[in-house]
Chain A
Amino acid sequence: MEWHGIDTWIVIIGALAAGACALLGNFLVLRKMSMMGDAISHAVLPGLAIAFMVTGARASLSMFIGAAIVGVLTAVFTQWISRFGKVDEGASMGIVFTTLFALGLLLIVLGADHVDLDPSCVLYGAIELTPLDVVWRPTLFGCFLEVPRAAFVLVGVVLLNTVFIVAFFKELRISSFDAELATAMGIYSKLMHYLLMTLVAVTTVACFEVVGSIIVIAMLIVPAATAHLLTDRLWLMVVLSVLVAIGSAVLGHLSALIVPAWFGFADTSTSGMMAVIAGLIFSIVALFAPKYGVLPRLVRKTETVR
């Protein structure tokens, strides 16, 4: 295995993307709306397509705005349909995001002659290529650095999500735990809900390009679910979820380089490997977590039987 400067950037970018998703994922998991991340990450497609058609460029800002609007619309439509259409929230989510996703595909096909939105890139991302798009070349402590554009965008998103969670920690906690009491107290549960959905949409778009939709969905759910098994404290859960996300990025890239070689293959997709590693970490934690793991609980049970 050979480690280049580019590998360091791949890990940093992967960790930033995974961390940005994991931060918000905690509240999706705790609100029992994990699939909302899945839904929004698909539903933003028409937002991206329309932003592209209107501005004629893949400018980041218009894409973010388009995605944020469609993200909120997804949440609003889901609630409307489940209220007026007499279907449960899961089904109404399914209706909304498939419809919007299909609409996005149609829009892309309509504008296909000049669109370079590559479907396989949307699915798997192109993390291996992101370090090549360098926007800043500073010299720090005698080191010559080449900072890629993706790193800038993702640091912004991580900061945005962190500020959101720190500033509204109390509101997020009560509206996730007991939305009715929060509303009765005059804390805007609905506002929190829609802010969260907006940020999920923005984060999704920022990470899409870099790591693809599969890993976005994985990182929204898996690190948070893992952290929930490890602690009874909300702030610690948030911190642990980010650590799991970073761990998945580092180990994911390492295994993408190393593991295929054992079987005589060339190295494989880093983002795919990151999701696999996150799943592995979850399985290990689910089995061995001191308090909520399957095995420790089994041991305790047999001890009490004796």
Chain B
Amino acid sequence: MSSESDLLIQVEQTGSSSKSLPLTIRDLTVAYHRKPVIWDIDLSIPEGKLVSVVGPNGAGKSTLIKACLDLIPRASGEVSIYGQSYKKRRKRVGYVPQRESVDWDFPVSALDVVAMGTYGKLGWFRRVSKRSKALSMEALERVGLADYAHRQISQLSGGQQQRTFLARALVQDADIYFMDEPFAAVDAATERAIVELLKELQKRGKTVLVVHHDLATVPQYFDWTVLLNMRVVAAGPTDEVFTRENLRRTYGGKLTLFTQAANEVVQSR
């Protein structure tokens, strides 16, 4: 009897989580020193999308990600991940911070950094197991860094460092990923490797939110786009929202170079 009701509860739970979206944001406002950085954000991201978050400097892109991950206090609003608070869902969330956010002279190897991705599921006093180490090595292989596993991380190029971070996100084995500018200052080979990885994640049904700077590659890489400038200017399938009008509204008249490039991209499609 009891096992039957347990089963029912389980079915209900899986039923509800499959219905709820990977990410839903309602009325989110974040402020530093009482000055709002992002204002009244409403956003729903459907499952299995590669999402670019695009906007000018200071538009609050990183802030949006950090607020989703409970890293900074919210002035108001709610973020739910698969229908639950971040706290309850954090094991299903992967995070790739900006490359400059850490000290690359830290005495760890690339493999050590990747293995950090497994710490979240380990719990107190538990050491990294051989299996997790093997998983970390596999992830390094997938980003083409197997030969660099035991190098201290300052001896990697910028692109290799970025790929190390991605490998770490892979071993987190999440369902939704937040990536803060993974394409910033990387070489062409790394850019291709990252794109391939993103597509592969998408194939496996993962949702990936990427803060992105290069407007020219947005339509090519991402099927969903959020245009952000303190507020959400537009969000939806890239085909529909990545228009000249929306870009103008996002960047204003200030960043003419950006908008020009964007115009060309939009026209060429």
Binding site for B on A (CB under 8 A): 30, 32, 86, 167, 170-171, 173-174, 176-178, 180-187, 228, 231-234, 236-237
Q: Contact between A167 and B125 (Cβ–Cβ < 8 Å)?
A: yes
16 more A-B residue pairs beyond the given contacts A181-B95, A181-B97, A186-B87, with a C-beta to C-beta distance below 8 A = A86-B33, A167-B125, A170-B128, A173-B112, A177-B103, A177-B106, A177-B108, A180-B101, A184-B69, A184-B70, A184-B71, A184-B90, A184-B95, A185-B120, A186-B120, A231-B107
Q: Contact between A232 and B107 (Cβ–Cβ < 8 Å)?
A: yes
B185 within 8 A of partner (CB)? no
Q: How far is the CA of A167 from the CA of B125 in the complex (A)?
A: 6
Q: How far is the CA of A258 from the CA of B69 in the complex (A)?
A: 60
Tell me the minimal C-beta distance from A240 to chain B in angstroms. 10
B195 within 8 A of partner (CB)? no
Q: Which 10 pairs of residues, A with B, have the shortest CB-CB distance?
A: A185-B120, A232-B152, A184-B69, A184-B95, A234-B107, A177-B106, A174-B116, A178-B102, A232-B107, A237-B107
Q: How far is the CA of A170 from the CA of B121 in the complex (A)?
A: 12
Contact residues of B between 69 and 112, Cβ < 8 Å to A: 69-71, 87, 90, 93, 95, 97, 101-103, 106-109, 112
Chain B residues in 8 Å Cβ range of A177:
102-103, 106, 108, 113, 116
Q: How far is the CA of A231 from the CA of B108 in the complex (A)?
A: 10
Chain A residues in 8 Å Cβ range of B116:
173-174, 177-178, 181
Q: How far is the CA of A256 from the CA of B93 in the complex (A)?
A: 57
Nearest opposing residue in chain B for A170, CB measure: B119
Judged by DSSP, the binding face of A is: helix
Q: How far is the CA of A228 from the CA of B107 in the complex (A)?
A: 7
Q: Contact between A186 and B90 (Cβ–Cβ < 8 Å)?
A: yes
Q: How far is the CA of A180 from the CA of B168 in the complex (A)?
A: 14
Binding site for A on B (CB under 8 A): 33, 66, 69-71, 87, 90, 93, 95, 97, 101-103, 106-109, 112-113, 116, 119-120, 122, 124-128, 152, 172
Nearest opposing residue in chain A for B126, CB measure: A170
Chain A residues in 8 Å Cβ range of B120:
185-187
Chain A residues in 8 Å Cβ range of B113:
177
Chain A residues in 8 Å Cβ range of B112:
173, 234
Chain A residues in 8 Å Cβ range of B126:
170
Cross-chain contact of B108 among A32, A184, A234 (Cβ < 8 A): A234
Chain A residues in 8 Å Cβ range of B103:
30, 32, 177
Q: Contact between A170 and B95 (Cβ–Cβ < 8 Å)?
A: no
Nearest opposing residue in chain A for B172, CB measure: A185
Q: How far is the CA of A190 from the CA of B128 in the complex (A)?
A: 22
Chain A residues in 8 Å Cβ range of B107:
30, 228, 231-234, 236-237
27 A-B pairs with CB atoms under 8 Å apart are: A30-B106, A171-B124, A173-B112, A176-B106, A177-B106, A177-B108, A177-B113, A178-B101, A178-B102, A180-B71, A180-B95, A180-B97, A181-B95, A181-B97, A181-B116, A183-B71, A184-B71, A184-B95, A185-B90, A185-B119, A185-B120, A186-B87, A186-B120, A187-B120, A231-B107, A233-B108, A237-B107
Chain B residues in 8 Å Cβ range of A231:
107
Chain B residues in 8 Å Cβ range of A30:
103, 106-107
Tell me the minimal C-beta distance from B108 to chain A in angstroms. 6
Nearest opposing residue in chain B for A232, CB measure: B152
Most B CB contacts (10 A, CB to CB) among A32, A177, A183, A233 go to: A177
Q: How far is the CA of A17 from the CA of B126 in the complex (A)?
A: 30
Chain A residues in 8 Å Cβ range of B124:
171
Q: How far is the CA of A237 from the CA of B109 in the complex (A)?
A: 13
Q: How far is the CA of A173 from the CA of B102 in the complex (A)?
A: 12
Q: How far is the CA of A187 from the CA of B117 in the complex (A)?
A: 12
Chain A residues in 8 Å Cβ range of B172:
185
Most B CB contacts (10 A, CB to CB) among A30, A186, A234 go to: A186
